[in-house]
């Protein structure tokens, strides 16, 4: 029994037509028929009932379909793993993330890496905000981080999302009746935001936007992540300025409105990594990230300062 015989068997079993199965495998029909005969001889059973018009699986053929698929899948996994080892695409890559922007981008990256780089394990470290991520990438305790610009010397970065700021409001709030909410309308509002100690780029942007509008924000409560922040908004504790990706978090009694005004920033969110990191696994993950998380057309250039 050879893998090519099983491949031919599965193709015929799924097509129930030797001609279509041969086309699918890019071989002539005669070699395919010979493969099936050899497989039947090796197993000592008949796998197909074949007439001039129809092809049907026998009971033995039906019993073989799923085991054959599993064997072919295992063989493919062996091939990918060995090739990955040959190319150096094995190992662990740690990824620091926090906030709604990374929640939207991270699944795209993890699914692609799992599919394309089976020899690489992604170690996901949540609630790693931009400031902490930059420090840890710099000192080598983290391979990749979702970070805001600008980055520090020694870090290379590539923008993967451009995030507009929006305001999250209780659905009963008077400002929810507006199509757009001016930043200055937040002057007297209790604001829920990320902890100062987390060095969140979103918090920094909110504080700066409020200062640019002529007031200091009134921080009512801090929350460790976007979900908890929006839960507090829904409970009426205050309002929250969040990135637009937070709209994907659906909670009752929370609505989102655009912020109006020239002082509202757009945040570039980037992947950042240590410029001198020699890891082949990291380079492989970054190649995949380039495909699944391309740089938006309106993104600023983001690289190592001074490079």
d(CA 253, CA 62): 53
pLDDT in tens, 211-270: 988 999 999 999 988 999 999 999 999 999 999 999 999 899 999 999 987 667 889 999
**Terminal Cα-to-Cα distance of the chain (whole angstroms):** 58
Confidence band (pLDDT; 50, 70, 90) for 192? Answer: very high
pLDDT of residue 84: 67
d(CA 220, CA 240): 10
d(CA 57, CA 46): 9
Question: Last residue of some domain: 86, 111, 136?
Answer: 86
In a domain, 300, yes or no: no
Mean pLDDT, rounded, for 202-216: 91
Looking at residue 54, the DSSP 8-state letter turns out to be -
pLDDT of residue 4: 93
CATH number where 141 lies: 3.40.190.10
> Does residue 172 sit in the same domain as residue 139?
no
Confidence band (pLDDT; 50, 70, 90) for 303? Answer: low
Residue 284, Cβ neighbours under 10 Å: how many? 22
Residue-by-residue DSSP string for 29-48: HHHHHHHHHHHHHHHTS--E
| Segments forming the whole domain that contains residue 21 | 3-86
pLDDT of residue 41: 94
Q: Is the pLDDT of residue 302 over 80?
A: no
> Does residue 250 sit in the same domain as residue 276?
no
d(CA 152, CA 132): 12
Residue-by-residue DSSP string for 252-306: TTEEEEEEESTT--EEEEEEEEETT---HHHHHHHHHHHHHSPPPTTPPP---TT
Mean pLDDT taken over the chain: 90
Q: Is the pLDDT of residue 138 over 70?
A: yes
Confidence band (pLDDT; 50, 70, 90) for 307? Answer: very low
CATH number where 70 lies: 1.10.10.10
């Amino acid at each position: 029994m050879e893998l090519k015989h099983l491949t031919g068997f599965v193709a015929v079993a799924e097509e129930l037509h030797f001609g279509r199965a041969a086309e699918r495998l890019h071989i002539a029909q005669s070699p395919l028929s010979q493969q099936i005969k050899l497989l039947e001889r090796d197993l000592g059973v008949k796998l197909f009932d074949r007439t001039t018009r129809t092809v049907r699986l026998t009971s033995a053929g039906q019993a073989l379909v799923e085991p054959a698929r599993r064997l072919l899948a295992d063989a493919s996994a062996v091939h990918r793993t060995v090739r990955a080892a040959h190319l150096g695409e094995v190992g662990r890559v740690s990824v620091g993330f926090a906030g709604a922007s990374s929640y939207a981008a991270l699944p795209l990256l993890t699914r692609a890496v799992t599919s394309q780089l089976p020899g690489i394990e992604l170690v996901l470290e949540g609630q790693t905000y931009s400031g902490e991520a930059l420090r840890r990438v710099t000192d080598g305790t983290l391979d990749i981080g979702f970070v805001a610009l600008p980055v520090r010397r020694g870090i290379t970065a590539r923008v993967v999302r451009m995030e507009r700021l929006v305001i999250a409001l209780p659905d009963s709030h008077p400002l929810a009746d507006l199509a757009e909410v001016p930043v200055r309308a937040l002057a007297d509002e209790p604001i829920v935001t990320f902890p100062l100690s987390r060095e969140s780029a979103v918090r920094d942007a909110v504080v700066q936007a409020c200062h640019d509008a002529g007031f200091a924000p009134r921080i009512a409560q801090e929350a460790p992540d976007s979900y908890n922040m929006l839960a507090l908004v829904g409970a009426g504790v205050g309002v929250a300025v969040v990135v637009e990706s937070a709209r994907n978090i659906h909670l009752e009694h929370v609505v989102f409105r655009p912020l109006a005004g020239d002082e509202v920033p757009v945040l570039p969110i980037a992947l950042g990594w240590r410029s001198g990191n020699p890891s082949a696994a990291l380079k492989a993950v970054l190649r995949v990230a380039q495909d699944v998380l391309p740089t938006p057309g309106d993104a600023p250039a983001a690289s190592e300062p001074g490079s």
